[in-house]
Amino acid sequence: MQEILKGLLDLLFPPRCRICNKACSEAICPECIDSFPRVNGSICTKCGKPCHREVNTCRECAGKNIYFLLARSAGDYSGNLKEAIHQLKFRNGKKLAPYLARFAAPHIVDFIDGIDCITFVPLTKYKEAKRGYNQSKLIAEEISKIFNKPICDSLIKIKNIPEQNKLGLAERPKNVKGAFGIKSPITGNMLLIDDVFTTGSTVNECARILKKNGAQNVFVLTIARTVPTGR
């Protein structure tokens, strides 16, 4: 009965791509996925920032206490990729998580074998209840399936803080300081998942807490990376 009802609904309201609105059996059509601006070429091997030439530490990393071993971002936070992330986060686009995870997966094949557990940046209980899900957790679950690695629900957000994207660059590290805690004991190498890397303050604070509480190394994967403004 459910299959019949779904068929009737599809006939009356054909499925459409969440990005371009073209009739499509997938949540994102192949053309929109192909248009995602992927991070390719030379990067900072520490934070993953695109550079004119490969460097071990870029000017964004220089002089900072960085607690993650390395970070990688799959794409540039622009165009259809930015729209897909917005759909995922703010428009109940949970069905987009598998597509974004598959888009990001190639960027961690060099080190995924050494990962013991996958975790994610948490939301406050209020925000997760209001949204109905944690988008970073959804992506982490999909990455877990792709690589057959366990999920560790290790972190908890213990302080309600202003949105990072509403703050200046200098305020962001201070804003997240002390915002996260540990839910359960951890060991080994961990992969930390988030949706967007801007200054890296959030993932760096999470990495600090993970290492302080038993993680050997923390690797970071985000779906996209944005170039900070206000330099």
What pLDDT score does 155 carry? 96
CB crowding 113-133: b at 16 or more within 10 Å, else e: eebbbbbbbbbeeeeeeeeee
- Please give the pLDDT value at position 125: 87
pLDDT tens track, the chain, 231 positions: 555 544 444 545 578 999 999 999 899 999 999 999 999 999 999 999 999 999 999 988 888 899 999 999 999 999 999 999 999 999 999 999 999 999 999 999 999 999 999 999 999 888 899 999 999 999 999 999 999 999 999 999 987 765 666 555 666 766 678 889 999 888 999 999 999 999 899 999 999 999 999 999 999 999 999 865 433
What three-state secondary structure class fits 231? Answer: coil
Residue type, 4: I
Q: Please give the model's pTM, rounded to 2 decimal places.
A: 0.89
Model pLDDT, residue 9 = 47
Axis crossing angle, helix 135-147 with helix 97-104, rounded to the nearest 10: 60
Q: Do the Cβ atoms of 223 and 75 come closer than 8 Å?
A: yes
At residue 38, what is the residue type? R
pLDDT at residue 14, as a whole number:
73
Cα–Cα distance for residue pair 56/112, rounded to 1 Å:
20
- CATH 3.40.50 in the chain: give the residue spans: 39-225
Q: What CATH number should be reported for the domain whose range is 39-225?
A: 3.40.50
Rg (CA), the chain: 18
Whose CA is closest to 85, among 161, 14, 146, 28? 28
* Dihedral pair phi/psi, residue 188, rounded to 5°: 80, -165
3-state helix, strand, coil in the chain (%, to 5): 40, 20, 40
For residues 108, 112, 115 and 118, what is the CA-based torsion angle, rounded to 10 degrees? 50
Residue 70 amino acid letter: L
Length of the chain: 231
What pLDDT does 231 receive?
35
What pLDDT does 117 receive? 97
- What pLDDT score does 162 carry? 57
